[in-house]
Amino acid sequence: TMSDPVVKIKAFIVTIPRDEPYLGALRPGEEPNAKGYFIRKKNRTVYPTVDRSVLLKMETKNGVVGWGETYGIVAPRATVALIEDLLADFVIGRDPMDREVIHDDLYDLMRVRGYNGGFYLDALAALDIALWDIAAKQANVSVAKLLGGQRHETVPAYISGLPKSTLKERVAFAADWAAKGFDSFKFAAPVADDGVVKEMTSLREALGGDVRIACDLHWVHTADQAVTLIRSLESQDLWFAEAPVRTEDIDGLAKVSRSVGTTIAAGEEWRTVFDAALRINKKACGIVQPEMGHTGITQFMRISRYAEAHHLEIIPHATIGVGIFLAASIQASAALSACSCHEFQHSIFKKNLRYLDTDMACENGQYSIPSGVGLGVTPDEEALKPLIS
């Protein structure tokens, strides 16, 4: 058959105001600067006061439209510039059916200069997701089917973060979601102001023994500190401990993994299977958490296949976006037998559905797989217009 090449690519920034910052109210000393950025003191990480991502629209000669999305929470113009000033021209004229070859060609352009992660791979992710969306539409199938077939009818979801100012409110917040049919939760250690042990015991007491409770440690500990801390939570049946040590401390991560009874989860900051291999080869984690907004579909699947080949569990990360990379993540998750659960960003999911044409849902603790061809989700360009820059 004749190929239907890419003829047009446009990237833009979507900014959606939010009532309360991600991870909840700001603590003393966390005031936003003039550009709306603030630093969480406990994990030394910068966040915007708004929700923001980079959307990408791609069109073929025959008029097939595909959508991509990538990380845009900080300095999104850097990612847009990489796409528009450099990468788009090397995708135009190519056949979306060659999506993995295109990914590797773009990766090669900068690989020997050390651009093998960060913003460069984010830009690739947006292009990659749009190419997969188009290829699936050209084949008249869903992305899950194009990935080899849908293995799950639904994907279990866990409630991520309890963005309330006091422990009492956080426990009540979790109990509300439990009443709505969710049985899996994760709390963030940097905003557990009364300490992680108190947080964990309070949640366990309120939610009972049947729910799963995980803790995100946000990369701040040494291996020895993390081991002590995780052991202190184990009597409360900790589901998994996420990101216990600095991201560069691969030996430390492996040490924590072999020293505690709890499964260690990692992977949200990885971009490629090479990042995954460095950890997995050292048995540094038991749960792999690829983030579609960073990996795109091609690297998400390579990371996940590598994890599967090492008999690990896959529980994808879900960052803040409009819903395009989330739909891609759900499609890919549905195609992976080792995917047992998926993060759920309850603070944005429902409110952003108004900007999308999709039947994607997350109810009773389960994501439904968006139906239709491609990703099964299309932005409502009219609704998004006031949010685009």
| Interacting residues toward Mg ion by CB under 5 A | 216
Q: How many CA atoms lie within 13 A of 339 on its CB side?
A: 30
Nearest approach, Cβ of 373 to Mg ion (angstroms)? 32
Nearest approach, Cβ of 370 to Mg ion (angstroms)? 24
| Closest by Cα among 171, 167, 257, 265 to 216 | 265
The answer to whether the CB of 271 falls within 8 A of the CB of 295 is yes
The answer to whether the CB of 328 falls within 8 A of the CB of 132 is yes
Q: Which is nearer to Mg ion, 95 or 216 (CB)?
A: 216
Q: Locate the DSSP E strands across the chain.
A: 6-16, 37-40, 45-48, 51-60, 65-71, 154-160, 184-188, 212-216, 238-242, 263-266, 287-288, 313-314, 342-344, 356-358, 362-363, 366-368, 377-379
Q: Which is nearer to Mg ion, 83 or 245 (CB)?
A: 245
Q: How far apart are CA 353 and CA 15, in angstroms?
A: 15
Nearest approach, Cβ of 57 to Mg ion (angstroms)? 29
Q: Which is nearer to Mg ion, 216 or 313 (CB)?
A: 216
Residue type at position 37: Y
Nearest approach, Cβ of 216 to Mg ion (angstroms)? 4
Nearest approach, Cβ of 218 to Mg ion (angstroms)? 7
Q: Which is nearer to Mg ion, 103 or 186 (CB)?
A: 186
CA trace torsion 86, 94, 119, 159 (10° rounding): 150
Q: Which is nearer to Mg ion, 45 or 154 (CB)?
A: 45
Nearest approach, Cβ of 242 to Mg ion (angstroms)? 5
Nearest approach, Cβ of 372 to Mg ion (angstroms)? 30
Q: Which is nearer to Mg ion, 161 or 376 (CB)?
A: 161
Q: How far apart are CA 318 and CA 270, in angstroms?
A: 13
Q: What angle do CA 37, 39, 45 make, to 5 degrees?
A: 110
The CB-nearest residue to Mg ion is: 216
The DSSP call for residue 111 is: G
Residue 373, both tokens = 């061809």
Q: Which is nearer to Mg ion, 128 or 216 (CB)?
A: 216
Nearest approach, Cβ of 6 to Mg ion (angstroms)? 34
Give the DSSP per-residue string, 314-348. Answer: E--B--SSSSHHHHHHHHHHHT-TTB--EEE-TTT
Count other C-beta atoms under 10 Å from residue 157's C-beta.
26
Q: Which is nearer to Mg ion, 14 or 188 (CB)?
A: 188
